Amino acid sequence: MDKTYKAVPYKPGNGENTYEERFCIVSTETGEILDDAQGYGYKTAQKAYAAWAYKNRDRKKDKEKQKKERHIRKWLREHGDFAEAMEDAAFEVEKGALGPDEKFDAAKVREMLQSAGIEVDFTAGELLKVWKNT
């Protein structure tokens, strides 16, 4: 992956103040400062990269993800009995009734879907994640 930007250290503020070293995102082609946190800079290069990636993310993917989450929430409302079964299974796993090594994870949800004979157009992991957040 060929990046056209990099995080570089600098000292923000005018020459009088002795602030700690901060990082900003600079274009590797032109040397222009692309992001400096409104003049304050980022405490670490990692945080500068994370902020730059977030500000320049593909918003189309965000919308697709939200659409899929709405679809899964609707499915959960329509299949309340399965949602209750998930709740019961999670409770049984939490209290240790199914064994000390048993986990309520995507594999367990996949197993529950298969045993109920339910075909879905999303993964068990996606279902589990949306179920946990509702």
Query: Which strand ranges, in their side-by-side order, compose the sheet holding 33-35?
Result: 5-10, 22-27, 33-35
Contact between 130 and 72 (Cβ < 8 Å) = yes
Q: Which residues contact 29 (CB under 8 A, 6 or more apart)?
A: 4
Residue 63 pLDDT exceeds 60: yes
Note the pTM of the prediction, 2 decimals.
Answer: 0.62
Cα torsion 124, 129, 133, 134 to 10°: value is -10
Confidence of residue 91 (pLDDT cuts 50, 70, 90): very high
Between 1 and 127, where is the model more confident? 127
Q: What are 7-47's pLDDT values in tens digits?
A: 999 887 665 555 688 999 999 999 999 999 998 899 999 99
